[in-house]
Amino acid sequence: MKNKRTELKVSAIRNGTVIDHIPSEVVYQVFGILNLDQTNSQVYLGTNLDSKKLGKKGIIKISDKFFKDEEISKIALVAPNATLIEINDYDVTKKGNVHLPENVDKIVKCINPKCVTNNQNVPTSFKVTEDHKGNMKLFCKYCEKTMAKDNIEFN
């Protein structure tokens, strides 16, 4: 007798990128910040999948798309433990964790309405830091305000 299948199989992609180990609660946010609602490529999105590491996880597979450093920084800001896998002709050609950069430039909006970056034509620039509890924070190079992860809004 055949073994009963215990997991959902999602089609493999020929060329493109798999973003794995996304916490389920941010999978739609990752989808949004990468503007995947506007792509013409095939996109598979899975959420609440079983994961040994996270309990529940999300996964996004995008055909014919390879992300630039700036886009990988965005993923790292909302899903710092995600894995990025690049596929070429069905083979994994690159696999690794996303990394938080030391600085986040241009892509995030400063939370302070009086910051010069919200009032003049000045691109934002943040230093990635941690508070004493180890929570990731962004420190605005200009207004010197510190912003928590929950307040991150992308430009």
Partner 1 sequence: MINLKGRSLVSITDYSKEEILRILDIAEEFEDNQRQNILNGYVIGSLFFEPSTRTRLSFESAVQYLGGSIIGFASPDVSSVTKGESLKDTILTVSNYSDLIVMRNPLDGSARYASEVSPVPILNAGDGANQHPTQCLLDLYSIRKTQGTLDNIHIAMVGDLKYGRTVHSLVQALSLFGATFHFVSPDSLKMPSSVKTWVKNANLEYHQYTDFMDVMPIADILYMTRIQGERFPDPLEYEKVKNAYILENSMLENTKDNLKVLHPLPRVNELNEDVDDNPKAYYFQQAKNGVYVRQALIAAILGLK
Shortest Cβ 142–partner 1 spacing (Å): 3
Residue whose CB is less far from partner 1, 98 or 152: 152
Token pair 């034509």: residue? 121
**Which residues of this protein are in contact with partner 1, per CB under 8 A?**
112, 114-117, 119-122, 131-132, 140-146
| Tokens coding 94 | 């690159």
Token pair 């590491």: residue? 53
Tally of residues, the chain: 155
Residue whose CB is less far from partner 1, 97 or 135: 135
Shortest Cβ 141–partner 1 spacing (Å): 7
Shortest Cβ 131–partner 1 spacing (Å): 7
CA-closest candidate to residue 62, choices 8, 33, 26, 19: 19
Token pair 């055949």: residue? 2
